[in-house]
């Protein structure tokens, strides 16, 4: 069962959860992937409720987002199994979906979404379904030196840059 919510009534809970981690769930061609994120923000752009996420170009999640243009933000909220949440965040933040079914390994339960393709996650019940309306590369060369630590470079001096994805929030609910 899902309880529809007004996303901005839960903005504080979402922002409080981000430093510890939330899940970004993507799907393309029947391949589902969950990635732990600690950067993101709800807001309003173009008169539309938006959730912005930032994904490195090298990540499998980036590949899926480029193919599908849809994602779910899944936030631990309420009476959740803290051990299971911590385990899932560890798995989804340290393994690649290219060669691991992270949802299965973490023992997570997929829930049918309302509008988008990727599934919601029962163990992370606060759910935002999003459709990408804009994306933009954030070139590391333009980032101030204060933030360079977030952009390690390879032997040729190339940084693993982030792409900012702005997703229109098309459904928001809590899985009960």
What is the DSSP track for 1-34? -EEE--GGGGHHHHHHHTTT-EEEEEEETTEEEE
Residue 137 pLDDT exceeds 70: yes
Residue 143 pLDDT exceeds 80: no
- The rounded percent of the chain whose pLDDT value lies above 70 is 89
145 backbone dihedrals φ, ψ, rounded to 5°: -60, -25
41-100 pLDDT tens trace? 999 999 999 999 999 888 999 999 999 999 999 999 998 999 999 999 999 999 999 999
Distance between CA 105 and CA 108 in Å, rounded? 8
Q: What is the pLDDT of residue 138?
A: 79
Residue 130 pLDDT exceeds 80: yes
Res. 139 pLDDT band, cuts 50 70 90: confident
Look over the chain and give the mean of its residue pLDDT values, rounded to a whole number: 92
Residue 140 pLDDT exceeds 90: no
Q: What is the pLDDT of residue 147?
A: 61
Residue 118 pLDDT exceeds 80: yes
Residue 148 pLDDT exceeds 80: no
- Structure pTM? 0.91
Residue 154 pLDDT exceeds 80: no
| Helix, strand, or coil (residue 89) | helix
């Amino acid at each position: 069962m899902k309880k529809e919510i007004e996303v901005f009534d839960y903005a504080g809970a979402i922002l409080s959860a981000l430093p510890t981690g939330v899940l970004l769930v993507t799907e393309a061609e029947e391949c589902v992937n969950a990635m732990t994120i600690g950067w993101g923000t709800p807001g309003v752009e173009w008169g539309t409720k938006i959730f912005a996420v930032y994904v490195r170009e090298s990540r499998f999640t980036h590949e899926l987002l480029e193919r599908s243009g849809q994602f779910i933000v899944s936030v631990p909220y309420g009476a959740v199994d803290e051990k299971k949440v911590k385990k899932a965040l560890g798995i989804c933040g340290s393994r690649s979906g290219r060669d691991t079914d992270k949802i299965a390994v973490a023992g997570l339960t997929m829930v049918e979404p309302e509008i988008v393709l990727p599934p919601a996650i029962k163990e992370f019940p606060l759910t935002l379904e999003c459709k990408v309306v804009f994306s933009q590369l954030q070139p590391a060369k333009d980032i101030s030196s204060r933030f360079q630590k977030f952009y390690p470079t390879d032997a040729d001096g190339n940084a693993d840059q982030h792409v900012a994805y702005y997703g229109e929030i098309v459904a928001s609910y809590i899985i009960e």
